[in-house]
């Protein structure tokens, strides 16, 4: 009996082939999301680090007005976009009312930070879906492979291993394929979700630090 992948594919039923093709598409989608998110995260992290270094120098003296006119608006990463939202709110806030101005800046920082976190999560649902459903799709193929094995056994009138071996091999391959698709997707999701959670904390801390600078500015 030939158990090569090519022979097993030729022996598979239509349903099992559809299961394998479906899992192949799921694997491709998860890989595309994985690499796209990694590229986006790395670029945003690099831009944010550079923005933080430049903005730290500008705000070293506590002059928020200098930061408003610094012109740090391009390629600033998630951190830069969040702080710039606060700077824009500071620029339009009523300078005569400290409480209103600080509250306006705080809300702007919070809104933009939430947008950045939500933007980072884009596509992670695909990884979660693939990781959670691929084993069940493989199990579906396994079930149909076993059903085919029993059908072959009934048609042949015998219960020898040779009669059902192709169906069993088909069933095991779909199970293994489902696990091969799910495992990288789950690992990628956990890694990327952890990165997003860490950046969420960074944005919160940076926003609070900037808000402290704004508060001190109005206290002068």
Position 12 confidence tier, pLDDT thresholds 50, 70, 90:
low
The residue among 73, 111, 63, 74 whose CA lies nearest residue 89 is: 111
Residue 49 has, within 13 A of its CA and on its CB side, a CA count of 5
Whether residue 4 has pLDDT greater than 90: no
**How confident is the model at residue 1, as a pLDDT?**
47
Q: Residues 175-187: pLDDT tens digits?
A: 888 999 999 999 9
Q: What percentage of the chain exceeds 90 in pLDDT?
A: 48
Residue 140 has, within 13 A of its CA and on its CB side, a CA count of 13
Q: What is 64-75 written as a DSSP string?
A: HHHHHTS---SS
**How confident is the model at residue 62, as a pLDDT?**
75
**How confident is the model at residue 75, as a pLDDT?**
84
Q: What percentage of the chain exceeds 70 in pLDDT?
A: 86
Residue 86 neighbours by CB distance under 10 Å: 27
Place of tokens 């349903």: 15
What is the value of pTM for the model shown? 0.83
Contact between 113 and 200 under an 8 Å Cβ cutoff? The reply is yes
Contact between 51 and 77 under an 8 Å Cβ cutoff? The reply is yes
Q: Residues 76-106: pLDDT tens digits?
A: 899 999 999 999 988 887 777 788 888 999 9
Q: What is the dihedral of CA 82, 88, 92, 93, to 10 degrees?
A: 30
Q: What are phi and psi of 203, to 5 degrees?
A: -65, -40
Spatial distance between the Cα atoms of 78 and 217, rounded to a whole number of angstroms: 24
**How confident is the model at residue 69, as a pLDDT?**
72
Position 206 confidence tier, pLDDT thresholds 50, 70, 90:
very high
Residue 79 neighbours by CB distance under 10 Å: 25
């Amino acid at each position: 009996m030939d158990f090569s992948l090519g022979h097993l594919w030729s022996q598979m039923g239509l349903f099992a082939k559809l299961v394998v093709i479906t899992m192949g598409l799921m694997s491709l989608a998860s890989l595309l999301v994985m690499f796209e998110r990694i590229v986006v995260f790395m670029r945003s992290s690099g831009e944010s680090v550079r923005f933080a270094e430049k903005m730290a120098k500008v705000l070293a003296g506590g002059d928020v007005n200098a930061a408003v006119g610094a012109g740090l608006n391009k390629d600033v990463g998630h951190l830069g976009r969040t702080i710039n939202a606060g700077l824009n709110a500071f620029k339009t806030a009523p300078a005569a009312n400290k409480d209103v101005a600080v509250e306006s800046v705080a809300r702007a920082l919070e809104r933009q930070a939430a947008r950045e976190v939500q933007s980072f999560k884009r596509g992670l649902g695909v990884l979660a879906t693939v990781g959670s459903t691929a084993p069940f799709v493989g199990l579906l193929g396994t079930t149909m492979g076993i059903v085919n094995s029993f059908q072959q056994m009934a048609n042949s009138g015998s219960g020898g291993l040779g009669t059902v071996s192709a169906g069993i091999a088909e069933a095991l391959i779909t199970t293994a394929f489902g696990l091969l698709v799910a495992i990288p997707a789950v690992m990628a999701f956990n890694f990327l979700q952890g990165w997003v959670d860490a950046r969420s904390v960074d944005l919160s801390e940076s926003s609070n630090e900037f808000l402290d600078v704004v508060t001190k500015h109005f206290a002068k």
